[in-house]
Amino acid sequence: MRYAETKPPVLTLTAGPVDAYPEVLRALGTTVLYDYDPAFQAFFEDVARKAQAVLGTDTPPLILQGEPVLGLEAAAASLIAKDDVVLNLASGVYGKGFGYWAARYAKELREIEVPYNEAIDPESVRSFLAENPDVKVVSVCHHDTPSGTINDINAIGGIVADAGALLIVDAVSSFGGIDVSPADCKAAIFVTGPNKCLGCPPSLSLVAVSDAGWEKIEANPDAPFASMLSLKDWRHAWKKTEAFPFTPSVAEINGLNAALDLYLAEGDRAVWARHALTAAVCRAGITGMGLEIWAAREEIASPTTTSVKMPEGIDAAPVLAETRARYGVSLSAGRAETLGKLVRVGHMGPTAQPAYALVAAAALGGALKALGADVDVGAGLAAAQAYWDQAIG
């Protein structure tokens, strides 16, 4: 029996979008209120306050009605002025990609780039900023999803703050799965979204802006307003007494509310531990069967995505096709520079469960074996389960 491509897979264990929590799906199907109904205005403020609690910020984040690429592009458009020099930190496809937006708004873009299985060395940022005191804005991706690698944004944030520059952080695929917050990395703008670790469908951006960030945006004559790319428009929209610049995505706010309730009920530490354990079980399975993790070092391997290097001479595309057709398990390919070279298993929101890591490792190992790779699937699964068992205690 093979699983047909025309039907949904049995399990979606991708690096985002993820299969949403059932509670979120049910909430998406609830009443769509008129946005100026007082019940919706109060509800919107309530959801914004919950998002604030989850992000640990002084004011509610902006909730933009587009998946997080909107938040990232709006951050570049709003914060970066025509006379700004921007330093972009690129350790992967998303980090590199932010530089293209930054360059569109900046006077000049400078870059520190490292191989896409590596992380940015915070000390390289310190010396770069010492030699380039004209840099006003620094941008970094926390978890570069197509590589499954993590940058030390708290260290980078401290260095950027010491240099008097402002930091834009893409934490889209890490927030809600890892201990990370706008305050800890001193971000001027911190962009995330509910469609990765919070377990919602792709739909919204959550954007936290610091006081220093707002000061720069308000002083930027080119910051967009009356525009889908505007952060300014939404600054006060969370208050039930304020008008919305445009119609908010009512159904998606219902879904986000359910996701935030789940997160708050489980508790952040428990959520992070669940993601970390799932990734560790997955890595134990992968290395136990003789495969290699893409990340150069285990310390920089993401707790929300495991990227697996393809063995010499094997392209990722037929492996992914086989994983899906043979076992009904959908995994992710790489992107751009990492395309073909790796396969990614997502551990995000509802799929951050060790049982899914075992299934993913079994499916990936089985598919590789079927394609002639030298992998010991049984040894990998035994190692994964042993890791899980010792963690249970």
Ligand X SMILES: *Cc1c(COP(=O)(O)O)cnc(C)c1O
State which of residues 60, 68, 349, 354 lies at the interface with ligand X (CB under 6 A).
68
Residue 153 CB contacts under 8 Å (≥ 6 apart), including other chains: 140, 142, 167, 169, 171, 180, 185, 187
Q: Which two tokens stand for residue 185?
A: 């990395």
State which of residues 41, 65, 139, 173 lies at the interface with ligand X (CB under 6 A).
173
State which of residues 84, 170, 252, 322 lies at the interface with ligand X (CB under 6 A).
170
* 150/362 with CB nearer ligand X: 150
* CA 342/CA 336 separation, integer angstroms: 11
CB of 188 to ligand X, least distance (A): 17
**Whether the Cβ atoms of residue 148 and residue 307 lie closer than 8 Å to each other:** yes
Residue 226: count of CB within 10 angstroms of its CB: 9
Residue 42 CB contacts under 8 Å (≥ 6 apart), including other chains: 240
Decide if residue 141 touches ligand X (CB under 6 A): yes
* CA 136/CA 133 separation, integer angstroms: 8
Name the strand (E) or helix (H) holding 39.
Answer: helix 38-55
Q: Which two tokens stand for residue 274?
A: 């669940």
Site string for ligand X, 182-211 (x = CB under 6 A): --------------x---------------
Site string for ligand X, 83-102 (x = CB under 6 A): -----------x--------
* CA 165/CA 298 separation, integer angstroms: 30
* CA 212/CA 189 separation, integer angstroms: 9
From 18-26, 36-44, 166-174, 374-382, span contacting ligand X (CB under 6 A): 166-174
From 75-83, 168-176, 242-250, 357-365, span contacting ligand X (CB under 6 A): 168-176
* 90/358 with CB nearer ligand X: 90
CB of 67 to ligand X, least distance (A): 5
* CA 331/CA 139 separation, integer angstroms: 29
State which of residues 24, 40, 67, 381 lies at the interface with ligand X (CB under 6 A).
67
Decide if residue 69 touches ligand X (CB under 6 A): yes
From 47-55, 102-110, 137-145, 316-324, span contacting ligand X (CB under 6 A): 137-145
CB of 50 to ligand X, least distance (A): 22
* 145/287 with CB nearer ligand X: 145
CA distances from 277 to 178, 181, 268, 302, 332 (A): 11, 20, 14, 11, 20
Beta-bridge partner residues of 307: 344
How many chain residues touch ligand X (CB under 6 A)?
A: 12
From 139-147, 152-160, 276-284, 378-386, span contacting ligand X (CB under 6 A): 139-147
> What is the dihedral angle through the alpha carbons of 35, 41, 46, 50, rounded to the nearest 10 degrees?
40
Look up residue 152 and give its amino acid: D
State which of residues 9, 12, 14, 16 lies at the interface with ligand X (CB under 6 A).
16
From 64-72, 178-186, 313-321, 359-367, span contacting ligand X (CB under 6 A): 64-72
* 141/279 with CB nearer ligand X: 141
* 204/360 with CB nearer ligand X: 204
Binding residues vs ligand X (CB under 6 A): 16, 67-69, 94, 141, 143, 145, 170, 172-173, 196
